Amino acid sequence: SVPMGFFGGIGAASKKGILVKGSNYLEVAASLHTVVFDKTGTLTKGQFKVVEVAPQQVSRDELLEIAALAEGYSNHPIARSIEEAYGKTIDTSRVLDVKEIAGHGLSASVDGRTTWVGNYKLMESENISYVPCKEVGTIVYVADDRGFLGYIRISDVIKEGAADAINGMKQAGVDRCIMLTGDQNDVAAKVAEQLHLDEYHAELLPADKLTKVEKLISSESEKEKLAFVGDGINDAPVLTRADVGFAMGSLGSDAAIEAADIVIMDDDLGKIPTMIRIAKKTIRIVKENIVFALAVKIV
């Protein structure tokens, strides 16, 4: 009665491009009350492009060059977008002592000058007087031992179908859709507004995301379950802690895919409401099977 029903549900999900790692995750998916999303790469494409370069003290090209050199060792999408805008081969021999500063940015020695590239928190922690950018986007501030050199504004694009997917989750029985991001508050607010999310929490470090999910889980009742949807290596601890973790299988990191309980093979968020519907139908069929089997036994 029970195992064959769950095998059927896992098989139905696999036909839709959804890998479910165990029948117990179908039970959890059928009881989802809250779905928490990472932003970059999950709700948005993670394809950043430089939309504004605002230099001070130096030329536009020099500001891009300094930022690209400092970010030369990073694989982060923001670093790649700066390198793409720079458009030249990066001479890494000009860069020494690169140090990543979690949640802030990085410092490096570029052409013998101590250089800082990161968000406003980095500028404030280094006591650098800077000109804040009021426009919406991811802002990368650049400074060196001469002072503030300017900022680079980068924007990301929301995935097609993300709004429809969230609407589909609501129709499938999810009560709350929440976004967690390390981006600035105004960027998060704009994305949350466009996608009609119930809540968002911005300017979070990776450890803060885990803490936030812990609080959300503790606020749920025993029957209400929480899912986390992510794709990055930083999302692995949160994917493991959530009642059920969804990973993006196409562009997601190996760590996220390994930590997740359910993998969306083509990164289509619309597969999540499909998964919830399959899970609910599976549980319904399993219960029908139990009732039918007991009835036969009694007869």
Q: Map tokens 């081969």 to a residue.
A: 89
Q: Which of 38, 156, 243, 267 is catalytic?
A: 38
β-bridge partners, 55: 150
Quote the CA–CA distance of 206 and 233 in Å, as a whole number. 10
* Residue 80 tokens, joined: 């790649």
User: Closest by alpha carbon to 18, among 227, 291, 293?
Assistant: 227
Quote the CA–CA distance of 117 and 86 in Å, as a whole number. 15
Quote the CA–CA distance of 181 and 223 in Å, as a whole number. 27
Q: Is the dihedral of CA 161, 167, 171, 177 positive or negative?
A: positive
Task: Indicate if 235 belongs to the active site.
Answer: no
Task: Please return the burial class of 158, using the count of CB atoms within 10 Å of its CB with bins 0-12, 13-18 and 19+.
Answer: middle
Catalytic residues: 38
